[in-house]
Chain A
Amino acid sequence: QKEVEQNSGPLSVPEGAIASLNCTYSDRGSQSFFWYRQYSGKSPELIMFIYSNGDKEDGRFTAQLNKASQYVSLLIRDSQPSDSATYLCAVTNTGNQFYFGTGTSLTVIP
């Protein structure tokens, strides 16, 4: 069983819509949760970090963490073509080791 699972997609949404990306993890002791955006041929960039249950909002991005159900999601409101990328979910354990999902490819259609 993989530590972190994501739907590989591709996920397509029209411009202006809400994109919803989901991630589940197997280690109930996971401590921190991250969402990264990675454009093709580029390095990842951190867009959201969350460690408490509930929602965390930053601009058009909202991360939602539910530790009881072991999932973390990312909502992108008012999706733009520039949001088209691969989104990586990662979790860390108490030893600060990172476990990444394989990423979800998002395409925002103008």
Chain B
Amino acid sequence: GAGVSQSPSNKVTEKGKDVELRCDPISGHTALYWYRQSLGQGLEFLIYFQGNSAPDKSGLPSDRFSAERTGGSVSTLTIQRTQQEDSAVYLCASSLRWGGQETQYFGPGTRLLVL
């Protein structure tokens, strides 16, 4: 595809349910990032993948959050036992850095509402 895609675009769930968010990065982009943005707030970094590997998972808010990336491409962010404070826009970005330059693109986000 031409850009980063995310699905679903919107998700409404009940407290305590599990949700899975998907990110399809730009083909060839080796780095992939997950962030979340609460209403009127800045971006909060969650996790970074280089290829399929996530060197540091300390940005994940709690052990209810997990993420994986397979084949150096698609990534999923899973939130178990969702809580109301998980409500936010979850953004994915992919990037490629070379020769001192960086291209980085965000997806449209998944708006998660936990009731």
Contact = CB atoms under 8 A, between A and B. Distances in A.
Contacts of A44: 43, 91, 106
For this complex, into which size category does the number of interface residues on chain B fall?
20 to 34
Interface in B28-48: 31, 33, 35, 41-45, 48
Interface string B75-115: 00000000000000001000000001111111111000000
Contacts of A45: 105-106
B91 A100 contact: no
Contact of A97 (B48, B91, B102, B108): B48
A99 interface: yes
A interface residue count range (under 10 / 10 to 19 / 20 to 34 / 35 or more): 10 to 19
A103 to B, nearest CB: 6
B33 A43 contact: no
Main secondary structure, interface of B, reads strand
B91 to A, nearest CB: 6
Interface string B37-78: 000011111001010000110110000000000000000000
Contacts of B42: 88, 100-103
Contacts of A1: none
Contacts of A90: 43
Contact of A46 (B45, B50, B105): B105
A95 B43 contact: no
Contacts of A101: 42
Interface of B: 31, 33, 35, 41-45, 48, 50, 55-56, 58-59, 91, 100-109
